[in-house]
Structure 1
């Protein structure tokens, strides 16, 4: 397998290339890429390694990969842009535009509650299939009927998957578009939710759900062309490399104990929130479904470019961005059981977004399961995107994104 790194890094940012090359050579990465913009200019744009371990297919300049929860910040950006375009006050009730959502005690929920993980519906009440998840209208109906776990607005807890479908309904009801369609039309055509499926023998594309072709496949603006680059295949390291590590960010013993119990219990809120609907992100049906909290398939370049445009004030106004990146909630997360902090849709530095001290006061964005990360920084005019296909976790000592961000800030 090849671990050649291609692309460029300005001489001042040579350390970023060194970190990326070292990570690949050491086997911490299988394949991936990192892009950094400073002041609107691409100072780092690197890629390398293997996109598919089974075939040895190399990671190319335009290889896309699923970004997991990095998706949330992009979906949130779309929702914020829609709110600004339509003059919507984020603190008005959701029932103003979605009357059905007021059922079962949710009538006080605001759009800001949806964006800050305070809605109280972090998990579905019942198992949901990948086929169901391809229909965003159906997913919205399920959430509208649910009883909240806590009174909306009174606590925050990570809505790992439901976050996306809640905001998807906001976008659909105001624009008549799926999240994928809106993102590609309004934010960046290379940010793709809903990857058209390729038949194994013919190369033709199919859709994941016949009833929702515009949300799950084909060639509409929400989806890549059939001849687009094949996504990287995500993989996991050996089990021995997935255990919690001593070098992980320090958590107090009580927090560790609570989390350990919750992750062993399939009925715990964190497990229900993160596993329903369930599916492999190598499964064409899941990728075609365009899950709006976790299903973004894109390149590090496109991910960083979205933050570049946010920082530049071209996607939402600087005033709204300041509000959206200001701390709205911080504290023990009712789902994750550790400290998390959010602006309006963007995660802020916390125990769940670990960044170097030099970046901590400035950055906003979102990490993704397995190590991917998208960040913006208006003070330093930095935009950062890193996407690997070898899934690691910071609780297991993953420092790939952290080390890259540290190298960026050391070079500023």
Structure 2
């Protein structure tokens, strides 16, 4: 597997770890980027643009051919991943959406301690009148699931999604506990941005975050950029992943297997699951799940949250960055059934989502992608892949790269 791109002196272990992801952990197409103190130190990509290894070879369900259609090495005759290739990043989108709300707070347009109903009166229904804005970001709002799931077409309509989550009775008293709002985070954050600004969250992010930061990321992929995005699909880990495959705890496995559990219901708030290769789905703006980004764009975004990028733009003030990573939820997660830690819209370093250090804040995407910033070291990180696994928060490929970065930082 040829690895393309460059690393700064001292970051060679990251290139080695990235290559091993293809040799040992079954990556098909992927990219990783790292910034340090606002300057790019890692920018690597390899493999094929499409998970199946051959354009258009997926089955009708868009899930991809797990055994590779492009030849014995998975690359023959297929379009290679290049510098501009982007991929859907699933829940790593949540960190970008969180930045929108925090920037509105930074500008004095949004009070995180105010009731959500102050901006969105309809949300006060069904016992949610005391829900605070920050509860939405910290997964404490109590509405991770819908009694009546939305179809993919309904979910893509921000008006219908907002109406559904506003009418939903909470699973617990808002603010008293936490549980991952896997899908409903889309309509909670998207509608709040619309109520405050009068603009859709996808357009707001394009104008106020991606544009100023110079980051290749989109919530609602424009038609002009659609050709950059490769096809994604599920891939199984190698038969011998060198000890990195772990058995899920029984309680976790049972929660995901039980259709009546809050875990299953949270992820099934959109039923059936959307086809992530459908251009219509990618063009929608679902801030919980369907952002599209390059690894470099994701890393550059996080770099702009903790400092100036290339001597230019900084999005968060130091005070906002501290606010973002301040712990607001910790302990047993009612949805993920493991201990999780959240700041304001960001996962924090911990067993469920290991990042670089205790100062890190960011967000994984289910099955692979990861973006985060680490203020203590000045590191910002982005990893995207076209081959999704069953992992939710700690994909082995992303973790191998994080360990390599951590080793470099410690040895410097």
Shift of 1:96: 0.9
Note the alpha carbon deviations across 1:170-218, whole angstroms, 9 max, x for none. Answer: 11011111111111101114221122xxxxxxxxxxxxxxxxxxxxxxx
Shift of 1:288: 2.0
SS in 2 for 1:310: helix
Aligned twin of 2:404: 407
Q: Does 1:51 align with 2:46?
A: no
Q: Does 1:156 align with 2:178?
A: yes
Aligned twin of 2:318: 318
SS in 2 for 1:354: coil
- Alpha-carbon distance between aligned partners in 2 of 1:282 and 1:152, rounded to the nearest angstrom: 35
Aligned twin of 1:265: 258
Match of 1:193 among 219, 223, 228: 219
- Alpha-carbon distance between aligned partners in 2 of 1:396 and 1:85, rounded to the nearest angstrom: 31
Shift of 1:116: 0.3
SS in 2 for 1:184: helix
Aligned twin of 1:40: 38
Shift of 1:347: 0.3
Aligned twin of 2:128: 106
Aligned twin of 1:353: 353
TM-score of the superposed pair, with normalisation by structure 2: 0.86
- Alpha-carbon distance between aligned partners in 1 of 2:321 and 2:34, rounded to the nearest angstrom: 20
Shift of 1:241: 6.2
Q: How does 1:255-404 map to 2 (within 5 A)?
A: 256-277=249-270, 278-312=273-307, 314-355=314-355, 359-394=356-391, 398-404=395-401
- Alpha-carbon distance between aligned partners in 1 of 2:87 and 2:283, rounded to the nearest angstrom: 13
Contact kept, 8 Å, 1:231 with 1:297, in 2: the verdict is yes
Moved more, 171-180 or 281-290: 281-290
Contact kept, 8 Å, 2:184 with 2:269, in 1: the verdict is no
- Alpha-carbon distance between aligned partners in 2 of 1:279 and 1:141, rounded to the nearest angstrom: 20
Match of 1:226 among 202, 224, 227: 224
- Alpha-carbon distance between aligned partners in 2 of 1:87 and 1:51, rounded to the nearest angstrom: 40
Aligned twin of 2:102: 80
Q: Where does the alignment leave 5 or more consecutive residues of structure 1 unmatched?
A: 196-223
Does the C-alpha gap of structure 1 residues 132 and 394 become closer, same or farther in structure 2, counting only changes over 3 Å?
closer
Does the C-alpha gap of structure 1 residues 174 and 387 become closer, same or farther in structure 2, counting only changes over 3 Å?
same
> How many positions carry a matched residue from both structures?
374
Does the C-alpha gap of structure 1 residues 241 and 184 become closer, same or farther in structure 2, counting only changes over 3 Å?
farther
Aligned twin of 1:220: none
SS in 1 for 2:383: strand
Does the C-alpha gap of structure 1 residues 247 and 16 become closer, same or farther in structure 2, counting only changes over 3 Å?
closer
Q: Where does the alignment leave 5 or more consecutive residues of structure 2 unmatched?
A: 56-77, 309-313
SS in 2 for 1:90: coil
Aligned twin of 2:166: 144
TM-score of the superposed pair, with normalisation by structure 1: 0.86
Match of 1:89 among 88, 91, 111: 111
SS in 2 for 1:229: helix
Shift of 1:333: 0.0
- Alpha-carbon distance between aligned partners in 1 of 2:27 and 2:42, rounded to the nearest angstrom: 18
Aligned twin of 2:28: 30
